[in-house]
């Protein structure tokens, strides 16, 4: 039998067949993905082949080819990775300017991973109802930065509903992954988009101004207009996986464009003479925050680095 993985609890996978049946499945013990050391070789969004025993339980034996996926370092096993979701049309990073503030480092690491694995990305700025005039100016500068690079940006409030209908329309017919730090209102926003309560929501910790994890596993939800939304657990940091030094600049579009004018073909854009990227940073054509994020990813070979809280 064939089906689509629509939920991953860590201990079992829920698979939906073309005729709408769902089966609770395990993965065949010897199953591995070639070239990927992952804590979860099969993830939400995967198309799989499975068999069903006499008790109605499934055993997944094969995964069909993926068009893409999003991956991050496992938070517990530094040498392994966690595949967040597969076969995506769009990834939406839910970010907030306040309560809590999403760091540009986190945003840039997420966007770089989307670039590396060929997934279109959009930044959704949530909780705009909480913004002061000063906050609104900062949001405008953030949108100017990322839209100037080429990324889609949306402003929404899952509390008041501002921007939610427009965002929903842009998702129809697509398989879209929602991700973000804990506390940015991702689950509340997903409930608003689906017009029903499917994702559990929680409160913000007043002590740390951080969200508490409410989504504990990944799951796909069908949109009324067609397509799926994938909800994932909130994450604190985003460790990149298997980025080679000479390739990191490819995942920062504005740095890659400037790099064509560097004196040396193998320029790392760190210290070399005649580096067009360093010149662009000095002339403010590349933002200092983006360049700092580039340097941060370049240093990811230090396996303890991704564990640090990114602010």
Using DSSP, state whether 142 is helix, strand or coil: helix
Q: Encoding tokens for residue 83?
A: 């595949």
pLDDT single digits (tens) 112-129: 989 988 999 999 999 999
Superfamily per CATH, domain 70-231: P-loop containing nucleotide triphosphate hydrolases (3.40.50.300)
Residue carrying the six token digits 């909800």: 231
The pTM for the full model equals 0.85
The three-point CA angle 110-116-117 to 5° equals 95
Residue-wise pLDDT tens digits, 259-272: 999 999 999 999 99
- Quick one: average pLDDT of 253-262? 96
Q: Which superfamily is assigned to 245-306 in CATH?
A: Probable gtpase engc; domain 3 (1.10.40.50)
Q: What CA–CA distance (Å, rounded) separates 194 from 157?
A: 15
> Is the fold of 2-65 the same as that of 245-306?
no
pLDDT tens-place string over residues 153-185: 999 999 999 999 999 999 999 999 999 988 999
Give 152's strand partners.
122
Residue ranges covered by each domain of the chain: 2-65, 70-231, 245-306
Query: What contacts 123, CB < 8 A, 6 or more positions away?
Result: 92, 93, 95, 107, 111, 146, 151, 152, 153, 154
Instruction: Round to whole Å and give the CA distance between 275 and 28.
Output: 50
Fold of 2-65: OB fold (Dihydrolipoamide Acetyltransferase, E2P) (2.40.50)
For residue 304, what pLDDT is reported? Answer: 45
The pLDDT of residue 149: 97
Nearest partner of 109 among 297, 307, 310, 268, judged by Cα: 297
Q: Cβ of 182: how many Cβ atoms within 10 Å?
A: 20
* DSSP annotation string for 242-273: S--GGGGGGGSHHHHHHHTT-SSTT--SSS-T
Strands (E), 127-165: 152-155
CB neighbour list of residue 252: distance below 8 Å, 6 or more residues apart:
108, 112, 115, 290, 293, 294
């Amino acid at each position: 039998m064939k089906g689509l993985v629509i939920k991953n609890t860590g201990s079992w996978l829920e698979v939906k067949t073309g005729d709408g049946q769902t089966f609770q499945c395990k993965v065949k013990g010897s199953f591995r993905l070639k070239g990927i050391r992952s804590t979860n070789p099969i993830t939400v969004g995967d198309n799989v082949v499975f068999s069903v025993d006499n008790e109605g339980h499934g055993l997944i034996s094969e995964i069909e080819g993926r068009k893409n996926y999003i991956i991050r370092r496992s938070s517990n096993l530094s040498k392994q990775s966690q595949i967040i979701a597969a076969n995506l049309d769009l990834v939406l990073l839910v970010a907030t300017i306040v309560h809590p503030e999403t760091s540009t480092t986190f945003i840039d690491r997420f966007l770089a991973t989307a670039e590396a694995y060929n997934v279109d990305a959009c930044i959704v700025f949530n909780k705009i109802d909480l913004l002061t005039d000063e906050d609104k100016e900062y949001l405008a500068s953030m949108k100017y930065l990322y839209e100037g690079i080429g990324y889609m940006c949306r402003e929404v409030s899952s509390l008041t509903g501002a921007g939610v209908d427009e965002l929903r329309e842009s998702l129809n017919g697509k398989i879209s992954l929602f991700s973000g730090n804990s506390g940015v209102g991702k689950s509340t926003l997903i409930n608003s988009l689906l017009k029903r309560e499917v994702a559990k929501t929680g409160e913000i910790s007043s002590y740390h101004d951080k969200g508490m994890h409410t989504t504990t596993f990944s799951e796909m939800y069908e949109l009324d207009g067609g397509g799926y939304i994938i909800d994932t657990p909130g994450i604190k940091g985003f460790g990149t996986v298997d980025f080679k030094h000479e390739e990191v600049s490819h995942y920062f579009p504005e740095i890659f464009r400037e790099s064509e004018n560097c004196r040396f073909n193998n320029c790392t854009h760190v210290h070399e003479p005649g580096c067009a990227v360093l010149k662009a940073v000095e002339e403010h054509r590349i933002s200092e925050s983006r360049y700092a994020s580039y340097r941060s990813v370049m240093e990811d070979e230090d396996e303890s680095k991704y564990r640090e809280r990114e602010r």
